């Protein structure tokens, strides 16, 4: 099975459609599939439900899809860095399903593992629990959360081989491994494609069985908020 594609546009060819659900790995601007997201924008697909920790910033990452009004609903954990997200949500243009961060990660992992739902204490007694089934275990109340799956998962890795085995680098791993398992189709962009057998099997984070297509991308790697220590006087 040929998995390597020449660019992001060809990797998404035939996979996008109106009303689709996507998962997009990344945490802020760290570990996002920036080339694939831009190609998704260019595809013109609309009414997208996007499952992602957040929506990046206004002019980069998923923020590009907000600019073009291609996203109908966000399933997210953190939305504080995107002014257009805020504007669309407060004006009623954008639906939002808000999740505690750990719950969102587990919902993606559960979906990828074929688990339809799980009980958690996180959110009990808050707005998060409204409308959700509750059950007692050992005298403690838990709420039922559903697993998540997507029509298409877009993930970013450090290295990948010809069969789609992936290694992520440090904090850029974040949501990518669980989202890679939860997409009906997963497309990965990597910084380097290496020959089969190059990667140490013990170091592979996402086995290639979960990845259908892969590209090598050119990455801008923006810094969301640069924080530096003040230089001390000599």
Average pLDDT over every residue of 187-215: 98
**pLDDT band at 223; cut points 50, 70, 90:** confident
For residue 227, what are the CA distances in angstroms to 38, 44, 58, 144, 224? 27, 36, 20, 39, 10
List the structure tokens of 12: 């998404």
Residue 106 dihedral angles phi and psi, to the nearest 5°: -70, -35
pLDDT at residue number 184: 98
In 3-state terms, what secondary structure has residue 163? coil
Reported as a single tens digit per residue, the pLDDT across 142-183 is 999 999 999 999 999 999 999 999 999 999 999 999 999 999
Residue given tokens 């546009």 in the structure block: 9
Reported as a single tens digit per residue, the pLDDT across 91-108 is 999 999 999 999 999 999
The structural domains of the chain, with segments of one domain joined by +, span 8-114+148-216
**pLDDT band at 228; cut points 50, 70, 90:** confident
**pLDDT band at 22; cut points 50, 70, 90:** very high
pLDDT at residue number 234: 54
- % of the chain surpassing 90 pLDDT: 87
CB count within 10 Å of CB 91 equals 8
Reported as a single tens digit per residue, the pLDDT across 37-87 is 999 999 999 999 999 999 888 889 999 999 999 999 999 998 877 899 999
DSSP secondary structure code for residue 27 in this structure: B
- Pairing of β 140-146 and β 134-137: antiparallel
Total residues found in the chain within this entry: 234
pLDDT at residue number 231: 78
pLDDT at residue number 79: 80
* Higher-scoring residue by pLDDT: 1, 16: 16
pLDDT at residue number 226: 78
In 3-state terms, what secondary structure has residue 144? strand
User: What CATH code is assigned to 8-114+148-216?
Assistant: 3.40.1080.10
Residue 119 dihedral angles phi and psi, to the nearest 5°: -100, 140
């Amino acid at each position: 099975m040929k998995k390597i594609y020449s660019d992001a546009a060809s990797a998404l060819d035939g996979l996008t459609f109106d009303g689709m659900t996507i998962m997009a790995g990344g945490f802020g601007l760290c570990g996002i599939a920036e080339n694939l997201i831009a190609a998704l924008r260019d595809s013109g697909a609309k009414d997208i439900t996007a499952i992602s920790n957040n929506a990046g910033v206004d002019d980069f990452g998923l923020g590009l899809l907000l600019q073009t009004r291609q996203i109908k609903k966000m399933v997210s954990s953190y939305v504080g860095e995107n002014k257009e997200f805020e504007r669309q949500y407060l004006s009623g243009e954008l639906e939002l399903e808000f999740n505690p961060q750990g719950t969102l990660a587990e919902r993606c992992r559960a979906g990828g593992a074929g688990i339809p739902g799980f009980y958690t204490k996180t959110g009990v007694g808050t707005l998060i629990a409204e409308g959700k089934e509750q059950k007692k275990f050992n005298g403690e109340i838990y709420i039922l959360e559903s697993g998540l799956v997507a029509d298409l998962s877009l993930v970013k890795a450090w290295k990948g081989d010809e069969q789609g085995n992936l290694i992520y680098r440090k904090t850029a791993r974040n949501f990518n491994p669980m989202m890679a398992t939860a997409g009906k189709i997963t497309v990965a962009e990597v910084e380097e494609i290496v020959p089969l057998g190059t990667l140490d099997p013990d170091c592979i984070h996402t086995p290639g069985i979960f990845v259908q297509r892969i590209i090598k991308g050119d990455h801008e790697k923006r810094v969301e908020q640069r924080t530096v220590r003040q230089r001390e006087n000599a």
